[in-house]
Amino acid sequence: MTTKTGQKALISQFISFTGANEKVASRALKAANWKLDQACDSYFTSIGAPSKGDDNLSKLFEKYRVPTDDEGLTTVDGTMRYLVDLGVELENAELLVALEIIQAPALGEMSKDSFVDAWKKIGADTLSKQKSYVAGQAKLLSTDMALFKRVYKYVFVCAKERSQKALPLENAIVYWQLLFEPPGMKWATPSTNWIKLWVDFLTTKWTKSVNKDMWNQTAHFFEKSMQDETLSFWSEDGAWPGVIDQFVEYAKKERGDVPDTMETD
């Protein structure tokens, strides 16, 4: 659920993008469940105007292409220049937020169609507006679970090789560390630093690559463990994948099984 502070930030961004007043902004965002891109798109549609003309966005995209790039794509150099111009921190989850917004088909690559479509729906046809939007989304990442889940799921698709169905373990660990540290959501509860335990477990006990199911089930376990650090939601007879079962056993041993012992008493 979006906090009041987050709602105020979204209202300000909506007003900046559309020129609408605060009352209209609040009404549009509430109707879109506080999703800024949907609210802007609905607003422009309702007043019979395009979200923003394609021309400015197309020109902006072309600015980052080099002659050797395929038509409609930018490769590493252009993509990195764009991200730097956005003011994105390339070594934390801000990078992943930006790539998810424009639905980059792979790391270090942008698609013109996705780029134009994304920013047109949001109503940000200038670099300054895009920079403001990305910064706003990055600030919400640590508190907005819907946004976090969207970025999290996208990362698996973006990060893996097109020809592969899984991520190498070492790569997956890097992305988990980015996602579960600020400005991402911290995976830690009062008694347990879960992300540290998870990485320690993977590096010492796990050797397989990370497929889509493991990636998604880790996110589900993250959400459940943040709600209940005693892990009472888990059972040996549950439907969790084997890697989660092994991790629970590992985690309980590492932390001395204190919560479970207290419950038994």
Q: Indicate the angle between helix axes 36-46 and 22-31, nearest 10 degrees.
A: 110
Average pLDDT over residues 46-50: 63
Q: What is the pLDDT at residue 48?
A: 61
5 pLDDT higher than 90: no
- pLDDT tier at 52, thresholds 50, 70, 90: very low
Residue % of the chain over a pLDDT of 90 = 74
What's the one-letter identity of residue 84?
V
Average pLDDT over residues 221-229: 97
- Residues 71-103: pLDDT tens digits? 999 999 999 999 999 999 999 999 999 999 999
- Residues 95-114: pLDDT tens digits? 999 999 999 999 999 999 99
* Gyration radius from the chain CA atoms: 21
Tokens 């996602």 map to which residue?
179
Q: What is the pLDDT at residue 256?
A: 87
- Residues 10-27: pLDDT tens digits? 898 888 878 889 999 999
- pTM summary value: 0.78
